[in-house]
């Protein structure tokens, strides 16, 4: 590694949505970005690695390739994820297992690959994408909610451990953001009545969807400030504060929201 070596970033799920916006923001700052996804990014100037985050070997190989090419690994954004929703009694174990494989194991694989490299070089920043669903009660998408709570816990605990090695860790908890994730709920899995209407449910719940470019700017600011938990938009920070002040009140508010957004399916 030399002084002239560019900073590097590895972004999973970087071909669309939040990952794409982050890749573009990083690239604009002169960071050498490698996009890891199942499909290539639209921006041909970025390095691309075809990676399925459910494969630990694939993630490790791609991360190590970045280190070998540039001699350093500055940022790893474990961002890839899927949206799975529906009434819990209608969800199958396939819904649960697929969500855990992508949303939780995908993050674990990224951390497992990058963290030892960052310890060895004495610097680096791991940024894991969770969700507001990892901070507040988020019914009608329990597999998603469970994995996002796990990512928050993983990230905050790793942050405390990593500080001794000069490694930074942040977790991103966005509210409903205008990304293709909402149009592809329960990917490759049976749709439930709620999962099929994810976008309209999100709009009713939040009022309006947060622009992905605005979220990327929030994340970049949070990373520059080394924030532990990056929450956006402002309405999300308000909801998080309310849940911490009154956990019971947050649960009651979530129960009320269910009745407005998606009444329980009728039984025959």
Looking at residue 168, what is its pLDDT? 98
**Is-contact 171 152, C-beta < 8 A?**
yes
The end-to-end CA distance of the chain, in Å, is 67
The predicted-structure confidence for 22-56, as pLDDT tens digits, reads as follows 999 999 999 999 999 999 987 767 899 999 999 99
Q: How far, in whole angstroms, is CA 187 from its chain's centroid?
A: 16
Locate 75 and state its tokens: 């940022």
Fold for the domain defined by 8-261: Rossmann fold (3.40.50)
Other CB atoms within 10 Å distance of the CB of residue 219: 25
Q: Are the C-beta atoms of 189 and 141 separated by less than 8 Å?
A: no
What's the pTM? 0.91
Q: What is the Cα–Cα distance from 199 to 235, expressed in whole angstroms? A: 18
Span 69-101, pLDDT tens digits: 999 999 999 999 999 988 999 999 999 999 999
Residue 268 has pLDDT above 50, yes or no: no
The answer to whether residue 198 scores a pLDDT higher than 80 is no
Token pair of 42 as six digits:
């639209």
pLDDT at 263 over 80: no
Is the pLDDT at 3 greater than 50? The verdict is no
pLDDT digits (tens, 9 = 90+) for 47-59: 999 999 999 999 9
CA-wise closest residue to 131 among 103, 160, 101, 94: 103
The answer to whether 85 touches 187, Cβ cutoff 8 Å, is no
What residues contact residue 30 under an 8 Å CB cut-off, 6+ apart? 6, 7
At 137-182, the pLDDT tens digits run 999 999 999 999 999 999 999 999 999 999 999 999 998 887 877 7
Show which residues are catalytic: 144
């Amino acid at each position: 590694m030399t002084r002239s070596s560019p900073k590097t970033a590895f972004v999973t799920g970087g071909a669309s949505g939040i990952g794409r916006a982050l890749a573009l923001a990083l690239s604009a700052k002169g960071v050498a970005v490698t996009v890891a996804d199942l499909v290539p990014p639209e921006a041909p100037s970025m390095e691309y690695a075809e990676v399925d985050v459910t494969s630990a070997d694939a993630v490790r190989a791609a991360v190590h390739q970045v280190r070998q090419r540039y001699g350093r690994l500055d940022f790893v954004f474990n961002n890839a994820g899927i949206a799975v929703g529906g009434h819990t009694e209608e969800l199958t174990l396939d819904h649960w297992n697929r969500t855990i494989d992508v949303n939780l194991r995908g993050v674990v694989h990224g951390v497992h690959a990058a963290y030892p490299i960052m310890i060895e070089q004495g610097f680096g920043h791991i940024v894991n994408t969770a969700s507001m669903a990892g901070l507040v009660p988020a019914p009608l998408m329990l597999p998603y909610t469970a994995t996002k709570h796990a990512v928050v816990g993983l990230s905050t605990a790793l942050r405390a451990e990593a500080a001794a090695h000069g490694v930074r860790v942040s977790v991103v908890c966005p509210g409903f953001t205008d990304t293709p994730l909402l149009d592809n709920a329960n990917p490759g899995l049976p749709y439930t009545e709620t999962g099929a209407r994810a976008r309209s449910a999100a709009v009713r719940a939040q009022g309006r969807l947060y622009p992905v470019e605005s979220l990327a700017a929030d994340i970049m600011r949070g990373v520059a400030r080394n924030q532990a938990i990056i929450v956006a938009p402002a309405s999300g920070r308000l909801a998080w504060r309310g849940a911490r002040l009154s956990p019971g009140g947050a649960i009651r508010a979530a129960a009320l929201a269910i009745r407005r957004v998606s009444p329980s399916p009728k039984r025959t």
